[in-house]
Amino acid sequence: MSTSPLLILVAGSAAVAGLARRAGLSAPLLLVAAGLAAGYLPGIPNYALDPELVLPLVLPPLLYTSALDSSYRGLRANLRSVALLSVGYVLFSTVAVGLIAHAVIPGLPIAAAFVLGAVVAPPDAVAATAIARRVGLPSKLVTILQGESLANDATAITAYRVALAAAVGEGFSWGSALGEFALAALGGVAVGLALMVPMQWARRRIRDPLLLNTYSLLVPFAAYAAAEAFEASGVIAVVVVGLYLGHHAHMVDFALRLQEDAVWRMVAFVLESAVFALIGLQLPVVLRALGDYSTAGLVGWSALVLGAVIVVRFAWCWPATYLPPLLSARIRAREGWPPWTRPLVVAWAGMRGVVSLAVAFSLPHAVHGGGGFPDRDLILLLTFVVVIGTLLIQGLTLPALVRVLPLPPADPQREVLVEAQAQHQASAAALVRLDELLTDPRNQLPEPLEQRLRRVLDRRQNAVWERLGAAVDESAGESADAVYRRLGKETIAAERDVFVLLRNADRIDDDLLRALVRRLDFEEALVDYDEE
Q: By mean pLDDT, which of 99-108, 143-152, 166-175 is the weakest?
A: 166-175
Q: Are 113 and 99 in contact (CB under 8 A)?
A: yes
pLDDT at 470 over 60: no
Q: Are 38 and 44 in contact (CB under 8 A)?
A: yes
Average pLDDT over residues 381-407: 88
Q: Are 32 and 279 in contact (CB under 8 A)?
A: yes
Q: By mean pLDDT, which of 53-62, 348-357, 460-469 is the weakest?
A: 460-469
Concatenate the DSSP letters of all residues of 429-479 into one string.
HHHHHHHHHHTSGGG---HHHHHHHHHHHHHHHHHHHHHHHHHH-TT----
Distance, in Å, from the CA atom of 325 to the CA atom of 335, rounded to the nearest integer, reads: 8
Question: Which pLDDT value is given to residue 304?
Answer: 96
Secondary structure of residue 180 in the 3-state scheme:
helix
Question: Which pLDDT value is given to residue 365?
Answer: 80
Q: By mean pLDDT, which of 289-298, 316-325, 340-349 is the weakest?
A: 289-298
Amino acid residing at 436: E
Identify which has the larger pLDDT, 271 or 132.
271
Distance, in Å, from the CA atom of 70 to the CA atom of 233, rounded to the nearest integer, reads: 20
pLDDT at 413 over 70: no
pTM: 0.82
Distance, in Å, from the CA atom of 237 to the CA atom of 4, rounded to the nearest integer, reads: 34
pLDDT at 1 over 60: no
Q: Between the CA atoms of 218, 224, 225 and 231, what dihedral angle is there, to the nearest 10 degrees? A: 170
Q: By mean pLDDT, which of 137-141, 196-200, 401-405 is the weakest?
A: 137-141
Cα 453 to the center of its chain, rounded Å: 39
Secondary structure of residue 124 in the 3-state scheme:
coil
Of the pLDDT bands very low, low, confident and very high (cuts 50, 70, 90), residue 3 is low
Q: Which of 298, 367, 386, 394 is nearest to 116 (CA)?
A: 386
Question: Which pLDDT value is given to residue 527?
Answer: 67
Question: Which pLDDT value is given to residue 364?
Answer: 86
Sign of the C-alpha dihedral computed for residues 349, 129, 302 and 400 taken in this order: positive
Average pLDDT over residues 4-19: 89
pLDDT at 532 over 60: no
In terms of DSSP H, where are the helices of 72-208?
72-77, 79-83, 90-104, 110-119, 125-135, 139-167, 174-205
Question: Which pLDDT value is given to residue 466?
Answer: 60
Cα 514 to the center of its chain, rounded Å: 35
Q: By mean pLDDT, which of 97-106, 187-196, 312-321, 461-470 is the weakest?
A: 461-470
- For 205, residues 6+ apart whose C-beta sits below 8 A from its C-beta are none
Most confident segment among 91-95, 126-130, 261-265: 91-95
Secondary structure of residue 496 in the 3-state scheme:
helix
Distance, in Å, from the CA atom of 521 to the CA atom of 258, rounded to the nearest integer, reads: 12
How many C-alpha atoms does 437 have within 13 Å on its Cβ side? Answer: 11
The rounded percent of the chain whose pLDDT value lies above 90 is 29
Average pLDDT over residues 493-507: 87
Q: By mean pLDDT, which of 290-304, 432-446, 514-528 is the weakest?
A: 514-528
Question: Which pLDDT value is given to residue 400?
Answer: 86
Average pLDDT over residues 21-36: 85
At 328, phi and psi to the nearest 5? -125, 115
Question: Which pLDDT value is given to residue 529?
Answer: 56
- What are the pLDDT digits (tens) for 68-110? 888 888 888 889 999 999 999 999 999 999 999 999 999 999 9
Q: By mean pLDDT, which of 97-106, 417-426, 439-448 is the weakest?
A: 417-426
- What are the pLDDT digits (tens) for 274-309? 888 888 888 888 888 787 788 899 999 999 999 999
Q: Which of 271, 96, 91, 117 is nearest to 184 (CA)?
A: 91
pLDDT at 530 over 50: no
pLDDT at 412 over 60: no
Of the pLDDT bands very low, low, confident and very high (cuts 50, 70, 90), residue 531 is very low
Average pLDDT over residues 14-37: 87
Q: Are 117 and 95 in contact (CB under 8 A)?
A: yes
Question: Is residue 387 exposed (0-12), middle (13-18) or buried (19+ Cβ within 10 Å)?
Answer: buried
Average pLDDT over residues 366-386: 86
Distance, in Å, from the CA atom of 413 to the CA atom of 482, rounded to the nearest integer, reads: 17
Concatenate the DSSP letters of all residues of 368-428 into one string.
TTSSBPTTHHHHHHHHHHHHHHIIIIIHHHHHHHHHHS-PPPP-HHHHHHHHHHHHHHHHH
pLDDT at 455 over 80: no
Distance, in Å, from the CA atom of 52 to the CA atom of 228, rounded to the nearest integer, reads: 13
User: What are the extents of the domains in the chain?
Assistant: 3-107+119-149+250-404, 412-477, 478-532
Question: Which pLDDT value is given to residue 411?
Answer: 55
Identify which has the larger pLDDT, 132 or 214.
214
Task: Go through the chain and tell me how many residues it has.
Answer: 532
